[in-house]
Amino acid sequence: MLTDFIPLFIMIGLALGLAFSLLKLAEILGPHRPNPIKRMPYESGMDPVGTAHERYTVKFYLVAMIFIVFDVEIVFLYPWAVSYRDFLEAGAGLGVLAVVVFFLIILAIGLLYDIKKGGLEFD
């Protein structure tokens, strides 16, 4: 049974070997001319202002979590939308539609809660 995976393990080993060897080769053969300007942090072509250890507000994380939730929603809805015709032909269309509507209602309640708490308002 494990012998079925030997080609996969060989492919993974070759890919990792190639990746590491190319990185090491670039490090060895590439130019190395450090200077103070190259060692400075780069922020969109401007000189860095302030410290890198500033704290972010909680709203930043709320917006990031909302993005992740709705991104995952699309990941779940796209395959469902593609195969919904097959569900209809199998006679399970209403049951699958009810599950997806329930999923969307839960997401809508979460979005309304976030709007009510002011998670999407920016000062």
6, part of any domain = yes
Q: Could you count the other beta carbons within 10 Å of the beta carbon of residue 112?
A: 10
Confidence of residue 7 (pLDDT cuts 50, 70, 90): very high
19, part of any domain = yes
Q: Provide the domain limits for residue 81.
A: 2-117
34, part of any domain = yes
122, part of any domain = no
123, part of any domain = no
Question: What distance in Å separates the CA atoms of residue 35 and residue 38, rounded to the nearest whole number?
Answer: 5
What CATH number did the domain enclosing 48 receive? 1.20.58.1610
For 24-36, how does the pLDDT look when each residue is reduced to its tens digit (9 = 90+)?
A: 999 999 988 888 8
By mean pLDDT, which of 42-46, 74-78, 94-98 is the weakest?
42-46
| In the predicted structure, residue 110 carries a pLDDT above the cut 70 | yes
Confidence of residue 8 (pLDDT cuts 50, 70, 90): very high
What the block records as the tokens of 10 is 């060989």
Average pLDDT over residues 10-20: 98
108, part of any domain = yes
User: For the chain, what is the domain count?
Assistant: 1
Average pLDDT over residues 13-34: 94
